Structure 1
Amino acid sequence: MTQANDLKAWQTRAQAQTELLLERLMPSENEMPHKLHQAMRYVTLGGGKRLRPLLVLAASELGEAEQTAVEQAMAAIEMVHVYSLVHDDMPAMDNDSLRRGKPTCHVQYGEATALLVGDALQTQAFDILSRPTALPSERQLKMLSVLAKASGSSGMAGGQAIDLNNVGKAMSQTELERMHGLKTGALIRAAVAMGALACPDVDDEVLARLDDYARKLGLAFQVIDDVLDCEADTATLGKTAGKDADNDKPTYVKLMGLAEARRYAEQLVEAAVEALAPLGEKSLRLRQLAQFVTARKN
């Protein structure tokens, strides 16, 4: 089996595992409030690359992972990610009508429900992550702290605020990278950290090396996102193509051009993979996922 086919088979299994976890851990639409639970399931189940849960799972291969903690982290980080997409798509922010190939939450269920869906998914994530596991308590608390910081004003939400405040403005590469290090990169770094923290035998030195990898991967992911927004069509992306240009948002493509942006993403991925070199074969999936980021079409 080629390396690409091997990764594809692993991704397919891991995505199916994520779907089963989310299906089991999401509230049933038969429970009140029915509409809210139905909308939560609508946006969370049946779609998406599941990159963040896959990164949790891949990082957990570096040690003797506590399986319940890994699964809870996979579900929790995807719920936070989906909540961010629901709010990001709303009229007050990016005002998008398509996500993962279907109508966005506010289009399907109304703005008030979409707002509550995001709120509920965020708190559901921390409920799940705080449930009992066999991990040492300080290790599990660290996982909760990592996700909280990555989600808030010093992480994803802060990056979104900077993004909204800079529509129509020119940003330097340093400013752009600071913004996307929060908006996109923070959750990617949290995913890798939580996967490793679910292994009691993974030490601080390895955690620091993994964070270096994840920081570079998060930037590469955003650069490719900007490239695909220009290159791919709406059907391929599953969301509205050309949205950033239409909204006059600062992007890597606008800053450095299409070819140079793609080249920069490839350089970032090479550096991310290099950071993993001392970790040997246990880091195989992390290396493959980094290479997948630049090869992806959506």
Structure 2
Amino acid sequence: MTAIKSYIEEKRTMFESYLLQRVEALQAPAPLKESMAYSLRAGGKRIRPMLLFAALETYGKEAEKGLDSACALEMIHTYSLIHDDLPAMDDDDLRRGKPTNHKVFGEATAILAGDALLTFAFELIASSTAHSPEQSVKLIRMLASAAGPEGMVGGQMADMAGEQKTLTLPELEYIHLHKTGRLLAFSVMAGAFIGGADERETSLLEKYARHIGLAFQIRDDILDVEGTEEEIGKPVGSDESNDKSTYPSLLSMNGAKEKLTEELNGAHEALAALGRPAPLLEAFANLIAERTA
């Protein structure tokens, strides 16, 4: 676990510097750029871009080759959090231990900052010199699919519709495979695509990504019960107070932990069948399952 944390720290420094430089260089109103940068700086572990880098390195490619795609991914993830925190949606005051964007900049600026991050993300990939035009078009399509109505946004809609209802396990998994899982899957699939994975390898990595996407959310649900506000950066029990179905509420805490182990094993089985060493991806699966924030 120490090795993967060192890897993340090394790549995160490079990634965050580039990410914020791209926002700072924009010819845009200062308050808009400040609002965009505020939420980007909140950061967290940068699991999604780091997974993209890890997939690239599994195929012997330098992480820098995926830098623009990783930044685009993180911008879309960040925009979704800004909008998710708004009063019309989750109405949260804290995000990663800091006041949410609309609490600092106001609702109108927060909405526009989210809009700006979403649209600038696609410009980043389209203008990247790291890929051929054909590769850029494929990456844009992949990311748009992961983030749009059949992906993250659709999952968010289903999540809101499921509040104050007791969902079935398939309904809950649909939400999380889309709201959380699709962007995590893009991380792996984009790295594999840029790295040159063949069809068989792509299929196995897609299975890996599906398993870690569910594992990520199950762990999130467990932390919402067993974590601390200091660790998770938001009030403990917020899902329960919002009347949301969770893995512990449907399966019991022990059942949720068993399900987490099942998804983790599935991720490792997919990697074992890959036919090439993937130590970074293996370590990320363990990290996701054991994280405390």
- TM interval, shorter chain, is over 0.9
What amino acid is aligned across from residue 27 of structure 1 in structure 2?
E
CA distance in 2, matches of 1:122, 1:239: 24
Of 25, 34, 45, the residue aligned with 1:38 is 34
CA distance in 2, matches of 1:293, 1:67: 20
Cα deviation, 1:88-126, whole Å, max 9, x if unaligned, reads 111111110001211000101111111111100001111
Task: Flag the 1:53–1:266 CA change in 2: closer, same or farther, 3 A.
Answer: same
Task: Flag the 1:83–1:59 CA change in 2: closer, same or farther, 3 A.
Answer: same
- The answer (yes or no) to whether the contact 1:69–1:133 under 8 Å persists in 2 is no
- The answer (yes or no) to whether the contact 1:166–1:250 under 8 Å persists in 2 is yes
CA distance in 2, matches of 1:282, 1:115: 43
Task: Flag the 1:108–1:275 CA change in 2: closer, same or farther, 3 A.
Answer: same
CA distance in 2, matches of 1:134, 1:102: 34
2:57 matches 1:24 = no
CA distance in 2, matches of 1:227, 1:28: 40
Of 193, 210, 233, the residue aligned with 2:189 is 193
In the TM superposition, what is the alpha-carbon distance from 1:12 to its structure 2 partner? Answer: 1.0
Matching of residues 30-179 of structure 1 within 5 Å? 31-65=27-61, 69-179=65-175
Name 1:207's counterpart in structure 2: 202
Q: Which runs of 5+ in 1 are unaligned?
A: none
Cα deviation, 1:46-83, whole Å, max 9, x if unaligned, reads 53110000110011013253755401111111111011
In the TM superposition, what is the alpha-carbon distance from 1:11 to its structure 2 partner? Answer: 1.4
Name 1:14's counterpart in structure 2: 11
Cα deviation, 1:170-212, whole Å, max 9, x if unaligned, reads 111111111111101010011111111112x321221111101
CA distance in 2, matches of 1:103, 1:92: 17
State the Cα RMSD in Å. 1.6
CA distance in 2, matches of 1:17, 1:174: 39
> Which secondary structure state, in structure 2, belongs to the residue aligned with residue 240 of structure 1?
coil
Q: Which runs of 5+ in 2 are unaligned?
A: none
In the TM superposition, what is the alpha-carbon distance from 1:281 to its structure 2 partner? Answer: 5.4
TM-score (norm 1): 0.94
Name 2:211's counterpart in structure 1: 216
CA distance in 1, matches of 2:286, 2:193: 23
CA distance in 2, matches of 1:174, 1:153: 19
In the TM superposition, what is the alpha-carbon distance from 1:141 to its structure 2 partner? Answer: 1.6
What amino acid is aligned across from residue 35 of structure 1 in structure 2?
P
> Which secondary structure state, in structure 1, belongs to the residue aligned with residue 144 of structure 2?
helix
TM-score (norm 2): 0.96
Percent of aligned pairs sharing the same letter:
40
Task: Flag the 1:101–1:134 CA change in 2: closer, same or farther, 3 A.
Answer: closer
